[in-house]
Amino acid sequence: MTHLDSAKAWLEQDPDPVTRAELDALITSAEDGDATASAEVADRFGSRLAFGTAGLRGELGAGSNRMNRVLVTQAAAGFARFLLGREAHPSVVIGYDGRVNSDVFARDTAEIMAGAGVRAILLPRLLPTPVLAFAVRHLDASAGVMVTASHNPPRDNGYKVYLGGADHGSQIVAPVDGEIHAAILEVANTTTVDLLPRSSHYETAEDDIVEAYIAATAAIAGDPSAPDATPRIPVPFTYTAMHGVGFETSTKVFARAGFAEPTVVVEQRDPDGAFPTVAFPNPEEPGAMDLAEATASAAGSQLIIAHDPDADRLAVAIPDAGSTSGWRRLTGNEVGLLLGWRAAEREVAQGGSGTLAASIVSSPALSAVAEHFGLPYRDTLTGFKWVSRVENLAFGYEEALGYLVNPASIRDKDGISASTEFLAMAGELAAAGRTVADRLREADEVFGAFASGQVSVRVTELAAIGRIMARIRDARPAAIGGIAVTQLDDFQSGFGDFGPSDILRFWLEGGSRVIVRPSGTEPKVKVYIDAVASEGTAEQRRAAALATVAALEVGARELLAE
């Protein structure tokens, strides 16, 4: 079957008038000899979005290589078959965010699941991803589906899957992803979506599930009026939802926890799938927090709390008179260190022995915290699906702004609960006449100064990623940024307790580390850089670590250059 034949067959079963019209026009142009249209048809039908450990994620549009109602319906039907093969009476809870078609994809999923005989529970409205992840455990569901593309570009959407039962509400991992993908392909290859049974007899959850999440999350902050509570005072802060779904739920949690009412970035408060004020709806991206910084400066805030569009990530900024904007954006590693330190102190105070965990591309600082407090520590592969599965987990994080502070309630990164923990910490520091910056300086004194950096190359064709990784393997550098390489760990065939993964980890003189890997969600090759300095004053340690990172960043760009 040619790509054009595949496009015509797709058109016949597409229930969406928007993508039908789009595809019909494309087919007509291709048949009229338009080379650009023919290339577009080939791109859309020459491959298929694969269902992997991140579920599905891609650009909206007609075709098997795009996110659309046909693809989502096939995914729902295949996932239903998988669940019915695991248990006689499975259940699934379904959530969605404010991106284009998220609500449509969620309803399609609910109808297909119900039609297949799976108990389907649709969340009452668009809500943050952490609420869905919480609901899987709270409702003891067999599975969960969240329709979101998180912090991806505006034209993207996605389909994230969780499993209950023995998986405790974590995201799927191999080999389950392959089994689900096979079930989806079986649906796609044997029937059309218009013939799949649908049912409107799915359930819509009540608001009590949202209330349960709010109560459990606010409780993280503790009761400041309790006799043995650490004193804290409200810290004035600015909050942005980044045009996502975090505002309503987050502000209710903040109020319940007794924090100051935030100054809200009004322009970014409400869900808007077009993300009009940001080029890229990711707090890590340059310019994404400019509005928040301007708003915070005008309001006299002492802290900025930012979520990504589905509120599973947290970004933090603190005042910095030396910065052009007046603000210092903390890295994910810095926030992870502060929250992990807090978790370790609590764990020891309560006589526990919970494990601290981070993905291998995150800073080694958390392992230093664990060693200091005599607690177990685990490295995991990248992705919260791995962090959340660590046994006896007390706290886990990864450098891409993901933190898990309440593993008893949720097994995924959660920007709202992490915000709650961070605001509680800031309030306690303020009560003692200290700031977050003071706490970071103290960390340099106690654990050593850890600094991190990241260099990435975005590619236009995925094949370029393989070429870059192969070239680095074939011509292994003796030094990076002028610092000698002492050891190379290649995870391609498995390494230690880790299964095969496309990761290269370089150890360098002085204890520095450079990790190279493809991104799991974007067409990028990423380099993660970490350095540590433990000699001299806190200021001298910080300066030495930053200088090493700067040298390694130059070397990393040379390493990635084609």
Positions marked active-site:
150
Contacts of 524 (CB under 8 A, 6+ apart): 456, 457, 458, 459, 465, 518
Of residues 395, 367, 403, 365, the one with CA closest to residue 530: 365
DSSP designation for 407:
T
Residue 59 tokens, joined: 């650009």
b/e per residue 493-525 (b: at least 16 CB within 10 A): eeeeeeeebbbbbbebeeebbbbbbbebbbeeb
Our measurement of the distance from residue 46's CA atom to the centroid of its chain's CA atoms, rounded to an integer in Å, reads 28
CA distance 353 to 254: 29
Residue 520 tokens, joined: 């799991």
CA distance 204 to 124: 6
Cβ atoms of 362 and 397 closer than 8 Å = yes
Q: Where are the alpha helices (DSSP H) in 66-207?
A: 69-86, 102-116, 129-138, 176-190
Cβ atoms of 26 and 14 closer than 8 Å = no
Other Cβ atoms closer than 10 A to 245: 28
CA distances from 419 to 15, 106, 339, 471 (A): 41, 27, 10, 41
